[in-house]
């Protein structure tokens, strides 16, 4: 028996005849091929440029971040033998050229005037006061009822633990000494007061004014006299209104004081003056403030420790002479002062003569003391 099956799939296949184009038609295909290659090459070029650009941007950003990191390390390296923290911010100094009348020497700017320093807690009021006391030299007395043991180290602090009675008594002594110096100066001239500079620092004066009976009189009388009697007042406050100092209508007293405004008080004062240039200057640099209506550039004092040896104030009604410190009495204070000055990089001779106050025939005694301080450190 024979089976005959029809292959249906074969029946469905139809063959189409394809003929090659003629030679004269090849130019059409050649033109299309060249165009396709050109477009492909152009797209590849654009993709390469885009990829390369992205790579360059990525590498540039990474290099920029690395450079900033290196710069932060570089800024901590010594500069001309000084660590970076002791170098004044030169960027801020360069920008001062954009303003006129920028004060760069605070000590000279307040010559013959007393000073009010206004700023919030932590803005450096106390440290600036110590720096000025160190610059003026002489005897330093601090009125601070809230002072802790580690504040005003090396200085004579009156009124700790809220002892307002002690402050009242000492301020009364200041006024007695002020009148005595005025009489002596009127009789013998300025030479009789030479070397007897006294710096009186009143921490948070509005509080003292409210709590100490004689504080207002103490403030007003010194303000009217200026600094000719060699008693320099530095009043600290967190309020810059004349009411807080009790000098409303006291134009003569106000003229005897310069006001140094720090932080937001400086910016606010610049706004009141409607000087946008000074306002911007204050916001774009460090250690910038306002001394009355003028911009002031302070040095970077953050790495320095200022100490002034405590010298006794001459007793009233006695001949006005400088009291030499006795080593047995003020030995600890002198050592603290010498140690701080050594850390600040001052020379041995400067410390012995100007800080320890050993001059002339007593120089060797001061050198011995300084050597003992060096050995102790």
Verify that 319 and 332 share a domain, yes or no: no
Question: At 295, which helix (H) or strand (E)?
Answer: strand 294-297
pLDDT tens-digit series, residues 124-156 = 899 899 988 888 888 899 999 999 888 888 889
Query: Residues 358, 220: one domain?
Result: no
- Cα–Cα dist 353/341, whole Å: 12
Same domain? 163 vs 109: yes
294 CB-near residues (< 8 Å, 6+ apart): 101, 102, 103
Q: Is the pTM of this model over 0.85?
A: no
Tokens of 327: 């080593």
- 3-class secondary structure, 140: strand
357: DSSP letter? -
Give me the pLDDT at residue 88, please: 43
Q: Which of 299, 323, 347 is the last residue of a domain?
A: 323
Residue 13 lies in a domain: no
The whole-angstrom separation of Cα 360 and Cα 310 is 21
27 in a structural domain: no
Same domain, 240 and 295: yes
Query: Could you tell me if 175 and 103 lie in one domain?
Result: yes
Structural domain contains residue 242: yes
Note whether 299 and 332 are same-domain residues. no
277 and 359, same structural domain? Answer: no
Domain assignment of residue 54, yes or no: no
Q: Which residue has the higher pLDDT, 129 or 69?
A: 129
Find out whether 223 and 247 touch, Cβ atoms under 8 Å: yes
Mean pLDDT, rounded, of the chain: 78
Q: How many domains does the chain have?
A: 2
277-291 pLDDT per residue, tens: 999 999 888 889 999
Q: Give the β-pairing of 156-158 and 257-261.
A: unpaired
Distance CA 242, CA 220 (A): 12
For residue 82, tell me if it sits in a domain. no
- Give the whole-angstrom CA distance, residue 81 versus residue 93: 20
Q: Tell me, what's the pLDDT at 235?
A: 93
Do 337 and 313 share a structural domain? no
**Over 70: is that where the pLDDT of 330 sits?**
no
Residue 194 lies in a domain: yes
Ranking 13-22, 44-53, 116-125, 212-221 by mean pLDDT, the lowest is 13-22
Residues 221 and 360 occupy one common structural domain = no
145 and 224 in a common domain: yes
The answer as to whether 8 is a domain residue is no
Last residue of a domain, one of 323, 341, 358: 323
Q: What is the rounded average pLDDT of the residues 217-228?
A: 89
Structural domain boundaries enclosing 341: 324-377
The model's pLDDT over 102-113, given as tens digits with 9 standing for 90+, comes to: 998 999 999 889
Check residue 214 and give its pLDDT. Answer: 92
User: Is 154 or 266 the better-scoring residue by pLDDT?
Assistant: 266
| Averaged pLDDT, 222-251 | 86
- Same domain (yes/no): 348, 250: no
Q: What is the pLDDT of residue 375?
A: 76
Last residue of a domain, one of 280, 295, 323: 323
For residue 288, the model assigns a pLDDT of 92
Q: Which residue has the tokens 């802790």?
A: 148
- CB neighbourhood size of 368 (10 A): 11
Q: How does pLDDT run across 292-317, given as a tens digit for each residue?
A: 999 999 988 766 655 544 444 444 44
Counting residues of the chain whose pLDDT is more than 70, the rounded percentage is: 73
Asked whether residue 238 is assigned to any structural domain, the reply reads yes
């Amino acid at each position: 028996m024979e089976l005959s099956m029809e292959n249906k799939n074969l029946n469905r296949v139809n063959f189409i005849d394809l003929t090659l184009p003629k030679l004269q038609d090849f130019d059409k295909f050649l033109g299309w091929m060249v165009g396709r290659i050109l477009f492909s090459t152009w797209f590849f070029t654009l993709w390469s440029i885009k990829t390369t650009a992205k790579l360059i941007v990525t590498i540039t950003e990474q290099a920029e971040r690395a450079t900033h990191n290196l710069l932060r390390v570089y800024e901590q390296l010594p500069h001309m033998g000084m660590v970076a923290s002791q170098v004044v911010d030169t960027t801020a100094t360069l920008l001062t050229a954009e303003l006129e009348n920028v004060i760069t020497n605070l000590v000279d700017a307040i010559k013959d005037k007393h000073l009010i320093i206004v700023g919030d807690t932590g803005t450096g009021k106390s440290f600036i006061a110590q720096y000025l006391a160190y610059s003026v030299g002489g005897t330093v007395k601090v009125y601070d009822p809230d002072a802790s043991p580690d504040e005003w180290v090396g200085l004579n602090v009156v009124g700790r633990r809220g002892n307002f009675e002690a402050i009242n008594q000492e301020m009364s002594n200041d006024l007695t000494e002020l009148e005595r110096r005025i009489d002596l100066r009127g009789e013998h001239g300025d030479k009789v007061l030479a070397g007897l500079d006294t710096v009186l620092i009143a921490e948070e004066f509005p509080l003292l004014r409210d709590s100490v009976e004689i504080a207002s009189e103490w403030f007003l009388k010194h303000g009217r006299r200026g600094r000719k009697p060699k008693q320099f007042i530095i009043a600290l406050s967190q309020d810059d209104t004349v009411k807080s100092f009790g000098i409303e209508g006291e134009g003569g007293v106000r003229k005897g004081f310069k006001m140094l405004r720090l932080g937001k008080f400086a910016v606010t004062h610049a706004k009141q003056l409607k000087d946008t240039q000074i306002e911007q200057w204050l916001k774009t640099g460090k250690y910038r403030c306002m001394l009355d209506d003028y911009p002031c550039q302070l040095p970077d004092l953050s790495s320095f420790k200022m100490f002034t040896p405590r010298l006794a104030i001459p007793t009233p009604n006695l001949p006005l002479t400088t009291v030499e410190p006795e080593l047995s009495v003020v030995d600890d204070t002198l050592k603290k002062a010498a140690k701080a000055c050594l850390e600040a990089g001052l020379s041995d001779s400067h410390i012995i003569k100007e800080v320890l106050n050993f001059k002339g025939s007593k120089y060797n005694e001061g050198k011995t003391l300084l050597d003992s301080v060096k050995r102790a450190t």
